[in-house]
Amino acid sequence: MSCPICKRHTKQDYRPFCSKRCADIDLAKWFSGSYAIPSAEPVEPDADRDESDPPIH
């Protein structure tokens, strides 16, 4: 199996990655929103938010 980030062989301690560095890169992509599942549904405003709240970016 190869690392999904750099394509090197994986190490048992970091599977499915080859190192902690590649695991951290993947985690950062999740946190930044780089990984997303596309949706055909329209985006609805949050019912919990007050209209006077500043927009979330």
18 appears as a binding residue in the annotation: yes
Question: What is the per-residue pLDDT for 51?
Answer: 63
**How far is C-alpha 40 from the chain's CA centre?**
20
54 appears as a binding residue in the annotation: no
46 appears as a binding residue in the annotation: no
Look-up of token digits 């549904």: 41
Question: What is the per-residue pLDDT for 38?
Answer: 81
Is 48 in contact with 33 (CB distance < 8 Å)? no
1 appears as a binding residue in the annotation: no
User: Which regions of the chain are under pLDDT 50?
Assistant: none
Question: What is the per-residue pLDDT for 43?
Answer: 72
Question: What is the per-residue pLDDT for 9?
Answer: 96
In angstroms, the Cα distances linking 47 to 17, 40, 52 are: 39, 20, 13
